[in-house]
Structure 1
């Protein structure tokens, strides 16, 4: 649970989920299901609900939601794209430029973008939660 979430007992389920819609948008954080009602994001666990308000509803403005509510995702995507491109470019530039070299450079770029993007995401999330 983060500092901006409210824990709600399961007994309030009928009241809370009356008009909320189940969604796949958002980090599950180990929840069974997720729901949204406007900017309200509800995560269902076996014994409770965790509820918080997003600044922007991702169903209406996905990029705005990422920028304001989940910037760590944007940092991960950007660092992955930039880092992967740099690795692939460096390897290809310093190769003999054969078909095999292109394949190796591309594969290394994809793998490094995944690793660099994940590291960027985790660092940004850690900074955001401090």
Structure 2
């Protein structure tokens, strides 16, 4: 399915309590729904500098998404979502390392990767 693969807060504009505009469409991706949701659940509350939201916040995001769509993810879809929750942060950590930036994302990935990968059964 097509979707936005860089669902960070700075790429969203809100109006009247809902998403009004999504920016940065060079991040359009064709991925399984669970992968797009997973990438979003790791970054949805981010603002510059990008990082990784707490694991509990990602879990709440996935649960809210499931409730709104009216169907729970299968066990396999949840694994995909949890693995994908690291994609944007890993990308941002790479950027930090290449450009000598403070390792904000790198530290978050180091702190959370084991738990996110455990939930991904990876």
| Fold agreement, TM-score > 0.5 | no
Higher relative contact order (CA 8 A, sep 6+): 2
Instruction: Give the TM-score range, shorter chain.
Output: under 0.3
Which has more radius of gyration? 1
Q: As a proportion of its length, which structure holds more helix?
A: 2
